[in-house]
Amino acid sequence: MGTSELTVSINDDDEASSVAGTGTLNLENSTYTVNEDAGELSVNVKRTDGSTGEISVLVTLGGNATALGNDPATYLDDYQLDSASQVNFGRLTLPDGVDAKVFKIIISDDTDVEGTEAFNITLSIPAGGATLGNQVLATVTIVDNDSTPPAESPQGNGEDVTEDPTSDAEEESGGAVGLLGLLLMALVLLGFRQRVFRSIQK
């Protein structure tokens, strides 16, 4: 009896995984809130599914008002990557055997009244055989610590001014005295003119 061969093909429906356990990268949180006067924000990048070999990932900061739901913060003016936290040219490197890495974002404390601002953190373009996980985007909200200064009073010095009711009475009495004086002078002049006229007639 002859033999027959059967060939079976299996189609892989799984997504690409990291190479030889190099790891999958994710941000630890999807949202962060920081006060403007905090100085800095620490962000943790987690590496799962292996930690073999050195890998890196691009860290990008930014975003627009429509996507953020708040006024967009301005890079360099409101925040920037801390160059001392091993983010070189935007890339965060995880050495062989390291399964997490923290980088820092400097938060600028200015005196401008800006309200709540926000920006995004995005992980992209992994290198060294690593892949990206499901949590590669996070939103950072900066809570403003400045308030609108109080409006100045009409006097411009912020002090309450109370009018003295006696000053009005004095002004009124002074006006009456002045009017009476003018009336008396008019009567004196009129009498003088009458005497001069009578002397001329004589």
Query: What pLDDT, in 10s, does the model give residues 39-48?
Result: 999 999 999 9
Per-residue pLDDT reduced to its tens digit, 150-169: 556 555 555 555 555 555 55
Q: Give the three-state DSSP class for 6.
A: coil
Do 81 and 87 contact (CB within 8 A), yes or no? yes
| Cα–Cα separations (whole angstroms), residue 144 to 56, 64, 79, 91 | 33, 18, 13, 29
Residue 11 has pLDDT above 70, yes or no: no
User: What average pLDDT is seen over the chain?
Assistant: 78
Q: Which domains does the chain have, with CATH numbers?
A: 19-143 (2.60.40.2030)
**Which residues share a beta bridge with 71?**
117
Q: What are phi and psi of 135, to 5 degrees?
A: -110, 80
Residues for the chain: how many in total?
Answer: 202
Name the one residue in this structure whose structure tokens are 């601002």: 117
Q: 123 is written with which tokens?
A: 């992980």
What does pTM read for this prediction? 0.62
Beta carbons of 118 and 70 less than 8 angstroms apart? yes
Between these two residues, 132 and 176, which has the higher pLDDT value? 132
